[in-house]
Structure 1
Amino acid sequence: MWQDNNNNAAYANPSQYYPQAGASQPGVPLQFYAPSPVGSSFYPGSRSSLDGNVAAQGNIQQGGAGYGGNIQPAGGWWTAFGTGGFEGEPPLLEELGINFSHIRAKSWTVLNPFSRVDERIMDDADLAGPLLFIICFGIFLLFSGKPQFGYIYGVGLLGSLSIYTLLNAMSEKGIDAYRVTSVLGYCLLPMVGVGALSVMVTLDGIVGYVLSSLSILWCTFSASGIFVAVLRMSDQRLLVAYPIGLLYGCFALLSVFNVGGSAAK
């Protein structure tokens, strides 16, 4: 009988044999994971398009078996088309490869060619910005009476393949065609400005020749600087800039002259 009473007392109070973890810190909530630190990147605060951010709110009631929790969206349905998206899933535009903050950062690097170029600038290569610039360039030339869409895409495709082949032959690190096309497309931005001026001013003259030459130098300097920084080819910048300058020279010819000529009446 005495042994049975002791056993019942032990079963009734098991905490004396199995002390509860965290009993010395009452009121401290349970932490199931620790947030990972944000790594250093060219884009501050950026995250991969596959990373999610799930924020759940819940409570555990003591003395009962009630567990409650809910996941609340950050906003309306239109939030998915922005840069924030719903909690727990990436934004729709980011899934499609469109990130306006990254496009703005790369465009600013092209517009400020004398700034230091970070070698991780093309870690998030995309074609959203280059396609936008090429379309704008073609539309500006169309408004100035030069429908050159076919020549623009043809020169861009052959030029990107040629630069891709030359860069991989010259560098030890190597680069893929996707990043080459992205860099060449972003560095076309000064040429897009010349195309916009062609709508208001005739470029077939001294002014047009000067502006086209400056845009060629600007585009070449920006593109060669990015390629040299990414591939670590600082001693070969002139060799990299020469074929790139020829490519942008073709785009300048398209903006100054009407390649197709006027239709015969």
Structure 2
Amino acid sequence: MWQDNTNAQYATAGGSQGQYYASQPGVPLQFYAPSPVGNSFYNPGRSSLEGSVQGSMMNGGQTGGVGPGYGGNIQSQGGWWTAFGTGGLEGEPPLLEELGINFSHIRSKSMTVLNPLRTVDERIMDDADLAGPLLFIICFGTFLLFSGKPQFGYIYGVGLLGSASIYTLLNLMSEKGIDAYRVASVLGYCLLPMVGVGALSVMVTLDGMLGYMLSLLSILWCTYSASGIFVAVLRMSEQRFLVAYPVGLLYGCFALLSVFNVGVGGSGSAK
């Protein structure tokens, strides 16, 4: 009996609610009222999103493209070769500069060596690098190889031993001191006149009076340039001849390698 009364009450309530919702066809629930698109609390940016989607569809149907607000700073300025120059992405340094290879610095230091009579800037080795010295050493060994003197091992051995010796002497003679990286950089850049002698050895035979004179001139040139740079960087006064003596001995070894052909047994023989 009581179940029949309860079902009747639910039926009466459901019928009254159905009559209420039937009287308001646009409202699915009593507590919910739809708002215009873009003004809803749950979808505040719907209108702008639909507008951008519609605009991209009108421009060719590419909905995955980057909007105008994000494509201004990431567009490339050229092809893959821009990584090796000054172009590329905005604010991004060239790839070779990140690797420590700066052709403008190599050119300026090379011109300092080729013109030793001008005043040397004492801050020339603040940006010391080994890109130029490695390039000159490889060229020197390649020229000697073309002239029939495969002496890469002797070049690397003499260069390493000489750089360590000059580094020790300079730190004993100066109060300021210098690191081994800058010593190797200076000695490598000042090898440039000797590279020219190595290039001449491909065309002419240096085992003669002409070769001896050219080798002596290159030794004096390399020694004068290297001692001038060391004295300017270390601010050493009246010690240039003391610095030039061991440096000249080092470049004299390179001159001997360019004039004579060192055999397998270690004995020097004329070409």
- How many angstroms apart in 1 are the aligned matches of 2:146 and 2:257? 13
Q: Which residue of 2 aligns with 1:218?
A: 221
Cα deviations across residues 125-179 of structure 1 (Å, max 9, x unaligned)? 1111000100000010011111110000000000000000000110111110000
Per-residue deviation at 1:208?
A: 0.4
1:239 aligns with 2:242: yes
Residue of structure 2 aligned with 1:90, choices 90, 93, 98: 93
- How many angstroms apart in 1 are the aligned matches of 2:208 and 2:138? 25
SS of aligned partner of 1:235: coil
Q: Which residue of 1 aligns with 2:116?
A: 113
Q: Which residue of 2 aligns with 1:181?
A: 184
Paired residue type of 1:80: A
Whether the 8 Å contact between 1:117 and 1:226 is mirrored in structure 2 is yes
Structure with greater helix percent: 2
1:193 aligns with 2:196: yes
Q: What fraction of aligned residue pairs are identical, expressed as a percent? A: 86
Pairwise mapping of residues 109-188 of structure 1 onto structure 2 (< 5 A)? 109-188=112-191
Paired residue type of 2:105: H
Q: Which residue of 1 aligns with 2:106?
A: 103
Number of residue pairs matched? Answer: 197
Cα deviations across residues 160-203 of structure 1 (Å, max 9, x unaligned)? 00000000110111110000000000000000000000011100
Cα deviations across residues 92-131 of structure 1 (Å, max 9, x unaligned)? 0001110000000000000000011101111111111000
Pairwise mapping of residues 44-55 of structure 1 onto structure 2 (< 5 A)? none
Residue of structure 1 aligned with 2:258, choices 232, 252, 255: 255
- How many angstroms apart in 2 are the aligned matches of 1:220 and 1:243? 9
- How many angstroms apart in 1 are the aligned matches of 2:88 and 2:104? 14
Structure 2 residue runs of 5 or longer lacking an equivalent are: 1-67, 267-271
Q: With structure 2 as the length reference, what TM-score do the two structures score?
A: 0.70
- How many angstroms apart in 2 are the aligned matches of 1:240 and 1:152? 22
- How many angstroms apart in 2 are the aligned matches of 1:214 and 1:83? 39
Paired residue type of 1:202: T
- How many angstroms apart in 1 are the aligned matches of 2:86 and 2:92? 11
The 1:124/1:89 distance shift into structure 2, 3 A limit, reads: same
Pairwise mapping of residues 62-81 of structure 1 onto structure 2 (< 5 A)? 68=69, 70-71=72-73, 72-81=75-84
SS of aligned partner of 1:173: coil
Per-residue deviation at 1:85?
A: 4.1
Pairwise mapping of residues 9-20 of structure 1 onto structure 2 (< 5 A)? none
Paired residue type of 1:110: V
Structure 1 residue runs of 5 or longer lacking an equivalent are: 1-66
- How many angstroms apart in 2 are the aligned matches of 1:247 and 1:127? 18
SS of aligned partner of 2:248: helix
Paired residue type of 1:125: A
SS of aligned partner of 2:239: helix
